[in-house]
């Protein structure tokens, strides 16, 4: 099988799993967006996923993403920034990406907001990254900080808080992270009472996306299940 066929087959299989998981969760599969995480992959593989119907792509490093986005931005494609972000990259992020999942400080949000207000036509949708499990090795804000930060963001006109994102802990069995996803969903529900546009739940990756969907994910971020194992030479996460 060619790489192209393999990627198309992987995407078909994932889409079937999305439908099944949505059914188990009593949900409509059409409310779930598949983001293909293309970090470390060449543009050719991104084009193959696009040919198989994927419209959303995720990258975690601005420098790597820059060239790929310049090379591949057909009509309808959306680029998602999913990695940890320094404020000094905000200019490029605002120019390159359609959505940022990894906002984890007021300072970063303010910097991005200022740039969007100065340069851009439309409000940039963002998500707050929440470190639900409180892992010291991980980026993201604490659960208790999330609503206060959401209130501060409400004053910024260049960005719009659209949802919450988390990276669940690495575990043996996906069932083990169900409480993490459930907690993020409850937090989103709470914030949405005050901020109705805070609707998105970006959670679930290759090993745990079915559980994430059962618990309410509206965006899943999948790399390896689409493109195969990553070659870590030179890559960060």
- Catalog residues that contact ligand PLP under the rule CB under 6 A: 37, 39, 60, 82-83, 167, 205-206, 221-225, 237
Q: How far is the CB of 177 from ligand PLP (least distance, A)?
A: 13
b (16+ CB within 10 A) / e for 15-54: beebbebbeebebeeeebbbbbbbbbbeeebbebbbebeb
Q: Which is nearer to ligand PLP, 65 or 156 (CB)?
A: 65
Contact 129, 162 (CB under 8 A): no
Q: How far is the CB of 84 from ligand PLP (least distance, A)?
A: 9
Q: Which is nearer to ligand PLP, 82 or 211 (CB)?
A: 82
Contact 183, 216 (CB under 8 A): no
Q: How far is the CB of 132 from ligand PLP (least distance, A)?
A: 14
Contact 118, 154 (CB under 8 A): no
Q: Which is nearer to ligand PLP, 77 or 154 (CB)?
A: 77
Q: Which is nearer to ligand PLP, 36 or 156 (CB)?
A: 36
Q: How far is the CB of 232 from ligand PLP (least distance, A)?
A: 11
Q: How far is the CB of 93 from ligand PLP (least distance, A)?
A: 15
Q: How far is the CB of 45 from ligand PLP (least distance, A)?
A: 13
Tokens 């087959």, located at residue: 9
Residue 153 burial by CB count (10 A; 0-12/13-18/19+): exposed, middle or buried?
buried
Q: Which is nearer to ligand PLP, 82 or 156 (CB)?
A: 82
Residue whose C-alpha is closest to residue 165's, from 122, 132, 206? 132
Q: Is the dihedral of CA 215, 220, 226, 228 positive or negative?
A: negative
Q: Which residue of the chain is nearest ligand PLP when measured via CB?
A: 223
Q: Which is nearer to ligand PLP, 125 or 223 (CB)?
A: 223
For β-strands 124-129 and 219-222, DSSP reports them as unpaired
| Other beta carbons less than 10 A from residue 157's beta carbon | 10
Q: How far is the CB of 19 from ligand PLP (least distance, A)?
A: 19
Q: Which is nearer to ligand PLP, 155 or 232 (CB)?
A: 232
Whole-number Cα distances in Å, 41 to 46, 50, 59, 223: 7, 13, 10, 9
């Amino acid at each position: 099988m060619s790489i192209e066929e393999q990627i198309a087959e992987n995407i078909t299989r994932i889409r079937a799993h999305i439908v099944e998981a949505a059914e188990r969760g009593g949900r409509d599969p059409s409310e779930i967006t598949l983001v293909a995480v293309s970090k470390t992959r060449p543009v050719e593989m991104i084009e193959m996923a696009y040919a198989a119907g994927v419209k959303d792509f995720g990258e975690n490093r601005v420098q790597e993403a820059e060239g790929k986005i310049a090379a591949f931005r057909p009509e309808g494609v959306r680029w998602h920034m999913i990695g940890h972000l320094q404020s000094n990259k905000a200019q490029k992020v605002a120019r390159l990406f359609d959505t940022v999942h990894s906002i984890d400080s007021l300072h970063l949000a303010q910097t991005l907001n200022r740039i969007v207000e100065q340069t851009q036509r439309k409000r940039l949708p963002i998500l707050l990254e929440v470190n639900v499990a409180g892992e010291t090795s991980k980026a993201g804000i604490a659960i208790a900080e999330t609503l206060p930060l959401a209130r501060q963001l409400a004053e910024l006109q260049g960005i719009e808080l659209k949802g919450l994102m988390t990276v669940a802990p690495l575990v043996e069995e996906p069932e083990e992270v169900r409480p993490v996803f459930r907690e993020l969903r409850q937090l989103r529900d709470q914030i949405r009472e005050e901020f109705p546009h805070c609707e998105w739940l970006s959670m679930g990756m290759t090993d745990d996306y079915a559980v994430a969907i059962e618990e309410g994910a509206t965006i899943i971020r999948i790399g390896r299940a689409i493109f195969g194992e990553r070659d870590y030479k030179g890559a960060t996460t």
